Amino acid sequence: MNERRIGSLHVSVVGLGCNNFGRRLDAPATAKVVHAAIDAGINFFDTADTYGNTRSEEYLGRALGRKREKVVIATKFGSEVDEKRKGARPEYVLKAAEDSLSRLGTDYIDLYQLHKPDPSVPIGETLGALDDLVKAGKVREIGCSNFTVAQLVEAEHSVRPGGARFVSVQNEYSLFHREPENGVLAECAALGMAFLPYFPLANGLLTGKYRKGEAPPPGSRMATGWNEQLLTDANLTKVEELIHFAKSRGRTILELAISWLIERPMVSSVIAGATKPEQVRANAAASDWDMSEAELKEINGILAANV
């Protein structure tokens, strides 16, 4: 699989989102997914201290075992683990990192990310703590998530002289969620930051499992009412057209969704979750569609249509 850079890190253009570990998957099932990812050429694993009520990090570290040195681990802090463990205060940043290192069973974190802005703490103070972690060798690179353009600029201007700076931002981005195009992608280009899209399949809408005129498949997340507001007639009509477009080129809508994101030069790795080894293999194989300008224009036309 092709690789791109996040700062000094080299990552596969498709990564594995680990939010299902410890929540929908137990430790043995997590290991199967992780091993399938490595076998498929994926070397980038993105987790967080809150995923699976902290079990995601534990299960990921256990599954990697001796293969840890061959992969890039990204994790996050800042979202609420419990009443005392949350936010971006410098003293908590250091404690959260130690906790993640322990759960992951590793001596260093490749990419340590602030999960969301903390308006109660000046970003310069958080960056100072993160810089201390980098200088101590416990973190290789730092990033942020769910940041606006203004917050990215503020963070860049708040870096201490010679200190670590954010090398990546991880925000939601997909064919059905284009918000990063309203400035964040351009700011990434200006600052030389990598962009990491999460929810690239629009919460499953771009897998093809949800079809117009059909009930959500039993056991699927939207069958339980989770994010069912996405299942509008307009969205499902566009899904049908995207499926037809992909089929006409011998492709799947999954390949379309992931390759469309990879066409963006600031996107370093598309973070896609999985609960089964076959899903990981499909995600990994979806990255090799080199879309033409005409194809990209036609896709945008489908999405822009009033239906």
* SS3 of 107-174: CCEEEEEECCCCCCCCHHHHHHHHHHHHHCCCEEEEEEECCCHHHHHHHHHCCCCCCCCEEEEEEECE
Catalytic residue among 51, 59, 173, 198: 51
Dihedral of CA atoms 64, 69, 71, 72 in degrees, nearest 10, equals: 110
Q: Is residue 51 annotated as a catalytic residue, yes or no? A: yes
State the catalytic residues: 51
